[in-house]
Structure 1
């Protein structure tokens, strides 16, 4: 059987993290590792993580990408599943991720969108259909495959070992999921699985400045990635590649 690690970056999110770990404890398929990356928290994040059965990895460099990559590096399982501290996975989430990753086509990444909780119904609808829907539509057109959604995905560890020196893992000014999706090596693929259900907090929409910061960061990320691996060259090189396969398959 394959082994699965859940990686959760967290910065001063003890209350959300506690709920996330409770949801993980209810999974029909238990994880083999739970890794919480403490990104310099001053609250009880580390204590909550350990109480919930997680191993704590300290990453002083602030940012989702530095924290996530530190967690991926620390994991030893075959598959690396990613949640945020405010994620609430459905009970069958990990079992579905394993089922899809174990399928005959052996996808490199399995992902889906999220279901917002909190805030009001209009905000949740706009977040799901305009914000996340727009992300999957627009970036899917650019990439030629579904993008990765950082709060809900699984990645093969042997693929990460190839990618960790390619992605911009030290940069806190980039969206980690978009960077990962863009920098996938030729032959690596992303599959969107609509049965991969995760609740995510609507707190990004609490303030306009916070929301606009995320949008600006998205366009900044695209500009950096376009310089690193121009879109026309990326499309040509990926189109001519043989399918990537996990080691041992």
Structure 2
């Protein structure tokens, strides 16, 4: 379980309380203190989490440091302002156990600290639009950084290729774009967590995230839908030929 955090003491405490109440407890919780100036590290330590320090500010540097530090075969990820339901980890474990072919599982978020109009627009246009648009581009579901889990082997394959030192791009989109097209990312609409609407409380916060999305895509001009589909098709042909020869 990895949680990147920067000056998030109050919200982090709520997230850790929610993790403590899980029906299936986390094997470990790694909180990455991203050079906070508040009590983030103290709150994490008091809850029994492993605290590591990442001085390079940005969600991607902090998240990557956490993935490196995680010791389990599956790495789950929340943000410091995420609030998972009590069956969140149990749901992840069940899905990955019953479907060993799944490499990554992800789900949407529900805004909990805003009015109903903002929540509807955020969940429908921002989160829903993210999954729909990027799904078309990747030819499969993208990863939503506030709510996902991946097998550790997937991270080991990509950690030296992602732009992990950039704090001005979307970490989840960059990770999604670097996955081999044959990696299976499962979108599970019932795997939900509460997330804060604070990034969208101002126009500047919202526009910054749109700029980050454009920048992240611009850094991967080779990752077109046609390129990814061609790789999948070539892999399938090789696999079918191997099966034919061994039949």
* 2:151 aligned partner: 156
* 2:141 aligned partner: 146
TM-score, scaled relative to structure 2: 0.92
Deviates more, 1:50-59 or 1:234-243: 234-243
* 1:41 aligned partner: 36
* 1:67 aligned partner: 62
Segments of structure 1 that go 5 or more residues without pairing to the other structure are 1-5, 244-249
Q: Give yes or no for the alignment of 1:238 onto 2:232.
A: yes
Q: By how many angstroms is 1:44 displaced?
A: 0.3
TM-score, scaled relative to structure 1: 0.92
Q: Find runs of 4+ consecutive structure 1 residues off by over 6 angstroms.
A: none
Describe how 1:129-208 pairs up with structure 2 within 5 A: 129-208=124-203
* 2:103 aligned partner: 108
What is the Cα-based RMSD across aligned positions, in Å? Answer: 1.6
Looking at structure 2, the residues matched to 72 and 83 of structure 1 have their Cα atoms a distance apart, in angstroms, of: 12
C-alpha distance after superposition, 1:169-212 (max 9, x if no partner):
11111101111111111421100112212000011111011111
Looking at structure 2, the residues matched to 163 and 72 of structure 1 have their Cα atoms a distance apart, in angstroms, of: 11
Q: By how many angstroms is 1:31 displaced?
A: 0.4
Larger helix percent: 2
Determine if contact 2:78/2:148 at 8 Å carries over to the other structure.
yes
Aligned residue for 1:102, secondary structure, equals helix
Segments of structure 2 that go 5 or more residues without pairing to the other structure are 239-247
* 1:28 aligned partner: 23
Looking at structure 2, the residues matched to 160 and 216 of structure 1 have their Cα atoms a distance apart, in angstroms, of: 26
Q: By how many angstroms is 1:104 displaced?
A: 3.2
Describe how 1:205-220 pairs up with structure 2 within 5 A: 205-220=200-215
Determine if contact 1:96/1:195 at 8 Å carries over to the other structure.
no
